[in-house]
Amino acid sequence: MLTPDIEVMLRELLRHTFGTDVEIASHVIANQRHDYVVLLAHLIHPTLDVSIKLAGPEAPFVQPFDRAAMLHRLVAAQTTIPMAEILAVDTYRTEVPWQYLIKTLIPGQEWAAVRQRMSRNELRYGYEAIGQAVAQLHAIHLPGFGEITATGSLASSGTLLNALVQRAERMITNQRSTEIFLSVLHKHAALFLDVRASSLCHDDLHGHNILFHHQDGQWKLATILDFDKAWAGHHESDLARLDLWTGMTGDGFWPAYEAVYPVASLYRQRRPIYQLLWCLEYGATTPKHLADTRRVYEELGLQG
């Protein structure tokens, strides 16, 4: 449930954005943590379905919403992926004491769920759609490697190796795990020296961030969500995670991807290193994650 303070703030924000006649007919809380909430709301006056993100000053791991809005607009302009329209964004807390992002809501169902109900042909079409969409993201080239700012520039620009070091130090919270990743990265540094092309990397393309909808008798890609972790990296880092996660690179994915964006011959050698970063960053203790981590350790010759 929303606290009374958040409800008051939400009403004030919607009136500022849509006018004093706006009303919330219904809403669902999609995500809620300390100082952070995501609402899916149906409005009247105007009649509109929206997603509303609110983040207070103590919200954990939240990127500035103006950065997310910029990335949405970039993807909408340079790909054919359907993207939500950004309706309002503020990171300066000028209207309400939290930063906010309001965008249109694209209806759809999570790939993680719908793939369980698809026929073999539908699955192949779904994987082809995902492969083509991911390749289009990676065809968005950036001027270097590193973290992307809200203006679309890079916070700092250097080699891929330097960017991976900085990202590991930022994303892996356990010091010993950070040291393990950096030692592996430096041991295999030669694999990364020839990488020059930087792409937009989503970094979180799991089955809950890719939506499909059923239209004209078939499943179609609805949209891709949540660019909060996106960075200017090497496209293989996304591919490595997709390869690691269950149900993300099935029959049809690779031909569709490579028809748009080629995969280098060294990908298979670099893949476990990118996967190790994910395993150590996520750090979960579920049996599946522990098994995946052990497999990556074994491939890299590490003692777990």
pLDDT number for residue 53: 94
User: Which of these, 248, 220, 162, 159, lies nearest to 195 by C-alpha position?
Assistant: 159
User: Which of these, 161, 134, 166, lies nearest to 147 by C-alpha position?
Assistant: 166
Is the pLDDT assigned to residue 157 strictly greater than 80? Answer: no
pLDDT number for residue 283: 83
- Could you tell me the domains of the chain? 4-104 (3.30.200.20), 109-300 (3.90.1200.10)
Split at pLDDT 50, 70, 90, the class of 5 is confident
Whole-number Å distance between alpha carbons of 211 and 110: 5
pLDDT number for residue 94: 83
Q: How far is CA 147 from CA 89, 135, 140, 201, in A?
A: 20, 20, 15, 10
Is the pLDDT assigned to residue 304 strictly greater than 80? Answer: no
Digit-coded pLDDT (tens) for 251-298: 999 999 999 999 999 999 999 999 999 999 998 899 999 999 999 999
pLDDT number for residue 149: 94
pLDDT number for residue 218: 92
Split at pLDDT 50, 70, 90, the class of 2 is confident
> Quick one: DSSP state of residue 37?
E
The pTM score is 0.93
pLDDT number for residue 60: 78
Split at pLDDT 50, 70, 90, the class of 144 is very high
Within 10 angstroms of residue 132's Cβ, the number of other Cβ atoms is 21
Q: What does the block give as tokens for 123?
A: 């699955």
What are the b/e assignments for 24-47, b being 16+ CB within 10 Å? beeeeeeeeeeebbbbbbebeeee
> Quick one: DSSP state of residue 186?
H
Q: What does the block give as tokens for 202?
A: 């989503």
User: Which of these, 111, 86, 80, 113, lies nearest to 100 by C-alpha position?
Assistant: 86
pLDDT number for residue 64: 87
Q: Are 145 and 160 in contact (CB under 8 A)?
A: yes
What are the b/e assignments for 95-109, b being 16+ CB within 10 Å? ebebbbbbbebbebe
Split at pLDDT 50, 70, 90, the class of 63 is confident
> In 3-state terms, what secondary structure has residue 113?
helix
* pLDDT (average), residues 40-59: 95
Whole-number Å distance between alpha carbons of 105 and 26: 14
Whole-number Å distance between alpha carbons of 300 and 231: 25
Digit-coded pLDDT (tens) for 179-227: 999 999 999 999 999 999 999 999 999 999 999 999 888 999 999 999 9
161: burial class by Cβ within 10 Å (0-12, 13-18, 19+)?
middle
Q: Are 295 and 245 in contact (CB under 8 A)?
A: no
Q: Are 207 and 110 in contact (CB under 8 A)?
A: yes
